[in-house]
Amino acid sequence: MKNDVRRLRMARDLSQGQLALAMGVSRQTINSIETGRYTPSLPLAIALAGFFSQPVEEIFHADTTH
């Protein structure tokens, strides 16, 4: 699943560690989400959307290429 977490995080001048702390997860989790290696749980996706004041579907995009 593609996402805009890195772009949104950088627009706020936050490190992965700072965002991880705000979300209650590890920096590695944020890195894995940003690189597409990990799809966050629904509660985490909703928390990220709330943090960035964006709808979930504006941040996370289904990867339709197979």
Per-residue pLDDT tens digits for 9-54: 999 999 999 999 999 999 999 999 999 999 999 999 999 999 999 9
Specify the pLDDT at position 62: 83
Helices (H), 1-66: 5-11, 16-23, 27-34, 42-51, 56-59
pTM to 2 decimal places? 0.90
Give domain limits for the chain. Answer: 2-57
Q: How is 11-26 classified by DSSP, letter by letter?
A: HTT--HHHHHHHHTS-
Split at pLDDT 50, 70, 90, the class of 66 is low
Specify the pLDDT at position 63: 72
Specify the pLDDT at position 1: 84
Judge contact between 57 and 3, C-beta under 8 A.
no
Q: How far apart are CA 37 and CA 21, in angstroms?
A: 20
At the top level of CATH, which class does the domain 2-57 belong to?
mainly alpha
Specify the pLDDT at position 30: 98
